[in-house]
Structure 1
Amino acid sequence: MEGAEIDYAAMFQALPGMVALLTPELAYADVNEEFLRLSGRTREELIGHYLFDVFPDNPNDPAATGARNLRASLVRVLETGERDAMALQRYDVESTERPGTWTERYWSPVNAPVLGPDGRVVLIVHRVEEVTELIKARGGPEGTRARVLEAELYTRARELQEVNERLRKAHAREREVALALQEAMLPAPRPVGHHRAAVRYRPAVGSLNVCGDWYDLVDLPGDRIGVAVGDVVGHGLGAACVMGLLRSALSAASLVADGPAQALDVLGLYARSVDGAANTTAVETHIDWDAHTIAYSSAGHPPPALLHTDGSVEFLDQATDPPLGARPEPVPRPQAAVAFTEGDTLVLYTDGLVERRREDIDTGLARLADSLSRHRELAPEALADALLHALLPLGGATDDTALVIVRL
């Protein structure tokens, strides 16, 4: 084959076993010949159609869970970008020749992501091995024992699925409580003096991923404001509670500190007394309109972006230190300052906006800079919406996102 070009389309059709390509909307993009043969469906009945319209659960079996389990697996692949191998599934199939007649079928599915250049899932490889004949096999004592064992395994799998469903519902309730607490503790959007600002918070997709992201804006003496964002390590209700404590503490420290570095020093000392606050990241900025400067300090957080009126973007990364509590003994944090001109825009955010699995952080920062430059003419509210639309995955991010935009 040296020097010969491989015909991947022909190879896909010749693959042994049932293989389908699904879009992120879970519609069939392509299937191989074996999939057509064993599913009993034509290409026209599959391509472009939603998977669960073609293969719904058996309505005559109230305990049928095949479609629900398969959907959960596919959603996990979309959210995590990771391969998902499923347990043995009973998933009955309706006869195309005798509508309303369902055949008992058993399947062993594996779902794997195909990632695009931006790290997003663009296709799902859905490979299925039918094991119906193996499950139903009889013939002598060995076959009988195998049949009994498979039945017991199937029963245990059903019980495990029921436990997982109860856990899912419990986590969903925790997510609702955590979100309500988080929204109650985050400051409502409000004017900052006579300056224009926009804030956004987008929770992570999935019941387990409510995090401790926060933002804060506080009026300081003179024509100054403090703007901060932070991210607590961990998930759920505990992270939301820690977030509220740290946000309030940093807001109070900003009012009396000499600058953002000292405010983070105070926050670091306070964090040592709060369970779950270790390794929190935060960045604090003080904007001075009289001096046209931004003083800033970062505790392990992604750098703020300063969008200039000419479309260039400057990342404020000259005063970065480890996260809160990362050092055994407190050390004064660094502080830097940068000048701005009227019409520039300051953007603070948490890592959910720029970080993606298996992708270097510099790629996400470059994507942010490009989007800021392209949308530099927009007002803060419109710019915030444009950034979220351009940078967050279509199905939602697997990490929370907080975003603050201030027009200088």
Structure 2
Amino acid sequence: MARKRKRSMTDDRVNSLKKTKPNLTAQANQTNQPELNQTTSQKKIENAWASCEIASPIPCSGNNIINMDKLQDGISQAALCRHCKAGELVLSQNAGAREGWAVVMRLTCTNCGIVTSFNSSHNLPGSRSKEVNRAMNLGMRSIGRGNSAATTLAAILQLPPPIGRKPWSKHTQTILSQVHDVSDTARLQVARRLKRQLIKEGSVPGTKADDADKTDSFIDSLTVDVAVSFDGSWKNRGFSSHHCIVAAIAQETGEILDAEYICNLCRECTDNSMDKNSDEYINWIVEHTPNCPRNFSGSSQAMESEGVRRLYERSEDTKLRYTVFVGDGDSKSFLSVTKAKPYDVPIVKEECVGHVKKRMGTRLRRLLNRMAGMYFYNIGVP
């Protein structure tokens, strides 16, 4: 007699799934009525069906890189002239009206010949400049590149050349002006938060803890002495960089109170071969000076102390006085500040324990490596 086959767990699971397969039609009519008695298998199957649904189309917005041949094919297959209802639309560009990456596109009907023109980019608010050119300038500046790098990128991507150097410089100056406005607002807000915290801690003479909740105008009128640490960062190591940024950091909040950019190189000034006494050079220098990136003529090593001195000189713009200088072991910055005498009160120097620990540890490890394998005799130690 043949032995009856034993049912496996797999068979039970398959039969269970078949019995619990959801009725998709019924569920489509009851989307707002969740099932309270669903099993785990039913929920898994519903989730699987939901993941297979076709995603809804996303509205077009922003900027996209589109192959013009593919765009022409799509227009030819899907669009007809709305005037004659018969002709196809041929896409072309108006080369004489191009502004950098902003081009004027033309749709010409093959039947009636009517032309519809439109620009590929919006104008900036209150300006004739194009959004895509401003965005390109900001993007390249954000990664430390300029007009030449944008030209190379456009050539590789088979895009139109970017805007010329003069409009590129105008976009850069506009962005720089807006960055300064945002920076000034941020500096004021950081100073307010620092003052309110010090008032709550009772570190501001002549104030009470409740004064921290007063209006911004009251907080802005207070002159407060604070402890600040300074740190400089160069583009390259080894004190050979031409670019440096120095930041002032509040010890109580850890926020950046202010920052200064230092540069001691300008390629245009260095590469200029005109006679220094000629009228041509004088006219050029008058036009170039407001846009010249060089704001320091000293060495790369002296950039940090110069930046700290400038930060001290403008600290009272936000009614803050950096009376406690938290150093990192380098005395040059503190000496430049004491020599400048920015306040009528003394400036006290305190050393950062973390930097002292770091420097001492580095020197001890260096000494240990240098004396490895050496033996000492008669040093007076039993």
- Greater helix content: 2
Task: Normalising by structure 2, report the TM-score.
Answer: 0.23
Task: Normalising by structure 1, report the TM-score.
Answer: 0.22
Larger radius of gyration: 2
- Greater strand content: 1
